[in-house]
Amino acid sequence: MTTAVTAMPDLVFQRVVDYIRDPRDLAAASLVCRRWFSIDASSRKHVTVALCYATTPQALDRRFQNLESLKLKAKPRAAMFNLIPEDWGGHVAPWVEEMVRSFRCLKAVHFRRMIVRDSDIEVLAQSRGQDLVELKIDRCSGNLTTLFLEESTITERDGEWLHELALNNKNLETLNFYMTDLSKVRFQDLELIARNCPSLVSVKISECELLDLVGFFHTAVALQEFGGGSFSEEPERYSSISFPPKVSSLGLTYMGQNEMPIVFPFASLLRRLDLLYALLDTEDHCLLIQKCPNLEVLETRTVIGDRGLEVLGRCCKRLRKLRIERGADEQGIDNEGGLVSHTGLIALAQGCPELEYLAVYISDITNASLEFIGTHLKNLCDFRLVLLDQGERISDLPLDNGVRALLQGCNKLRRFALYLRPGGLTDVGLSYIGKHTPNVRWMLLGYVGESDAGLLEFSRGCPSLQKLEIRCCIFSEHALAIAALQLTSLRYLWVQGYPASETGHDLLAMARPFWNIELIPARQVLVADPLGEAVVTEDPAHILAYYSLVGRRTDFPDTVSDVYFMYGYFRTMNAVNINAESCNFAANIVVAQRYSDVDLLVSLPFVRKFTTLEKSLCVMSFVTITSKA
| Enclosing H/E stretch for 416 | strand 415-419
Residues 555 and 622: their CA atoms lie apart, in Å, by 20
Which pLDDT band, with edges at 50, 70 and 90, does 629 fall under?
very low
Higher local confidence (pLDDT), 399 or 571: 399
Per-residue pLDDT, 293: 97
Q: Cα(84)–Cα(349) distance, rounded to whole angstroms? A: 35
Q: Which pairs with CB-CB distance under 8 Å and at least 24 residues apart come from 181-185? A: 181/153, 181/154, 181/156, 181/206, 182/149, 182/154, 182/156, 182/206, 183/156, 183/207, 184/156, 184/158, 184/159, 185/159
Residue 602 clears pLDDT 80, i.e. is over it: no
Q: What is the pLDDT of residue 500?
A: 86
- pLDDT of 564 reads 55
**pLDDT tens across 297-353, in order?**
999 999 999 999 999 999 999 999 999 999 865 344 444 457 899 999 999 999 999
**In this structure, is residue 536 part of a structural domain?**
yes
Weakest mean pLDDT among 165-169, 335-339, 429-433: 335-339
Examine residue 24 and state whether it is found in any structural domain, yes or no.
no
d(CA 90, CA 92): 6
* Of 95, 51, 54, 106, the residue nearest 73 (C-alpha): 51
469 with 500, same domain: the answer is yes
**Same domain as 598, residue 484:** no
* Together in a domain, 278 and 368: yes
pLDDT level of residue 534 (50, 70, 90 thresholds): confident
pLDDT bin (cut points 50, 70, 90) of residue 440 is very high
Residues 351, 412 within the same domain: no
* Higher pLDDT among residues 380 and 623, named by residue: 380
Q: Could you tell me if 348 and 448 lie in one domain?
A: no
Whether residue 439 has pLDDT greater than 50: yes
CATH code assigned at 501: 3.80.10.10
Listed in order, strand segments (DSSP E) in 63-217 are 69-73, 108-112, 134-138, 146-148, 174-176, 202-204
Q: Does residue 126 belong to any structural domain of this protein?
A: no
549 and 412 housed in the same domain: yes
Does 153 have pLDDT greater than 50?
Answer: yes
Mean pLDDT over 16-45 rounds to 81
> Does the pLDDT value for residue 361 go beyond 90?
yes
Highest-scoring range by mean pLDDT, 151-155, 169-173, 263-267: 263-267
pLDDT given for residue 628 in this prediction: 46
| Secondary structure E strands in 167-305 | 174-176, 202-204, 225-228, 249-252, 272-274, 297-301
Q: Which of 524, 556, 588 is the last residue of a domain?
A: 556
What is the tens place of the pLDDT at every residue in 475-513? 999 999 999 999 999 999 999 999 988 777 788 888 888
Least confident of 146-155, 336-345, 380-389, 492-501: 146-155
Exposed / middle / buried, residue 363 (Cβ in 10 Å: 0-12, 13-18, 19+): buried
Same domain (yes/no): 403, 313: no
Q: Establish if 281 belongs to a structural domain.
A: yes
Per-residue model confidence (pLDDT) at position 316: 97
**Tell me, what's the pLDDT at 86?**
82
pLDDT of 362 higher than 90: yes
Query: Are 407 and 551 contained in the same domain?
Result: yes
Of 286, 272, 278, the residue nearest 320 (C-alpha): 272
Highest average pLDDT, of 25-29, 174-178, 438-442, 500-504, comes from 438-442
Contact indicator for 418, 394 with CB cutoff of 8 Å: no
pLDDT for 79 equals 84
What's the average model confidence in pLDDT over 52-60? 91
Are 404 and 552 in a shared domain? Answer: yes
Q: How many domains does the chain have?
A: 3
Strand 523-528, strand 534-539: pairing: antiparallel
| Distance separating alpha carbons of residues 342 and 208, to the nearest angstrom | 38
How would residue 1 be classed by pLDDT, with cut points 50, 70 and 90? very low
Angle (nearest 5°) at CA 403 between 397 and 408: 155
- Mean pLDDT over each residue of the chain, to the nearest integer: 84
pLDDT at 627 over 60: no
Give the residue among 433, 525, 549 at the shortest CA–CA distance from 52. Answer: 549
Is the confidence at residue 518, as pLDDT, over 70?
A: yes
- How far apart are the C-alpha atoms of 566 and 317, rounded to whole Å? 58
- Segment among 219-223, 271-275, 466-470 with least mean pLDDT: 219-223
Mean pLDDT of the 405-433 span: 97
By three-state DSSP, how is residue 606 classified?
Answer: helix
Residue 573: what pLDDT?
39
What's the pLDDT at 116? 84
- In a domain? residue 175: no
- Domain limit, last residue, from 556, 581, 616: 556
Residue 25 lies in a domain: no
End-of-domain residue from the set 556, 579, 598: 556
User: Which has more confidence, 581 or 513?
Assistant: 513
The pLDDT confidence band at residue 568, using thresholds 50, 70 and 90, is very low
Least confident piece of the model among 53-57, 185-189, 226-230: 185-189
Higher pLDDT, 16 or 601: 16
By mean pLDDT, which of 163-167, 218-222, 235-239, 447-451 is the weakest? Answer: 163-167
Consecutive H or E run containing 444: strand 442-446
Strand 515-520, strand 542-547: pairing: antiparallel
pLDDT digits (tens, 9 = 90+) for 62-108: 999 999 999 999 988 888 877 888 888 899 999 999 998 899 899 98
Question: 605: pLDDT confidence band, cut at 50, 70 and 90?
Answer: low
Label the pairing between strands 382-387 and 415-419: parallel
**What is the model's pTM?**
0.81
Q: Is the pLDDT of residue 203 over 50?
A: yes
Structural domain range at position 273: 248-377
Report DSSP letters for 312-333, one per residue: HHHH-TT--EEEEEPPPGGGT-
Element (H, E) at 445: strand 442-446
pLDDT at 609 over 60: no
pLDDT at residue 429 greater than cutoff 90:
yes
Q: Are residues 338 and 430 in the same domain?
A: no
pLDDT of residue 386: 96
| DSSP letter string, 541-565 | PEEEEEE-TT-S-S---TT-EEE--
| Inside any domain, residue 522 | yes
Both 610 and 544 in a single domain? no
Same domain for 413 and 474? yes
Q: Give the pLDDT band (50/70/90) at residue 33.
A: confident
Question: Residue 327 falls within a domain, yes or no?
Answer: yes
Residue 406 has pLDDT above 70, yes or no: yes
Answer yes or no: is pLDDT of 590 > 60. Answer: no
